[in-house]
């Protein structure tokens, strides 16, 4: 298995800025009305199989968040 290398601080900052920017109404509408790709459908199907209940999804999120916090601390 290949070890994942964390994104550089500069790249992480760019991603964060993109995720947090306020979308104009027309861009938001275009994004939510765009059809899903086959890859997106496959990812959703996998996720729902892997985490079939809301409780399982929440538990997975909590585990990952704890892991991220530990990694940030060093």
Tens-place pLDDT, residues 3-12? 888 889 999 9
CB 8 within 8 A of CB 16: no
CB 57 within 8 A of CB 51: yes
pLDDT band at 71 (very low <50, low <70, confident <90, very high): confident
Answering whether pTM is above 0.85, one says no
Instruction: Say how many C-beta atoms besides its own lie within 10 A of residue 52's C-beta.
Output: 10
Find where tokens 């940030």 sit: 72
Tens-place pLDDT, residues 26-52? 999 999 999 999 999 999 999 999 999
Percent of the chain residues past pLDDT 70, beyond the cut: 97
CB 26 within 8 A of CB 34: no
Please determine, for residue 74, whether its predicted confidence score (pLDDT) is greater than 80.
Answer: no
């Amino acid at each position: 298995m290949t070890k994942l290398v964390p994104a550089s601080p500069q790249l992480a900052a760019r991603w964060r800025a993109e995720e947090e920017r306020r979308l104009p109404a027309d861009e938001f509408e275009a994004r939510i009305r765009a059809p899903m790709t086959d890859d997106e459908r496959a990812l959703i199907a996998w996720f729902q199989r892997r985490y079939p209940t809301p409780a399982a999804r929440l538990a997975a999120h909590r585990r990952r968040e704890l892991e991220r916090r530990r990694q940030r601390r060093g």
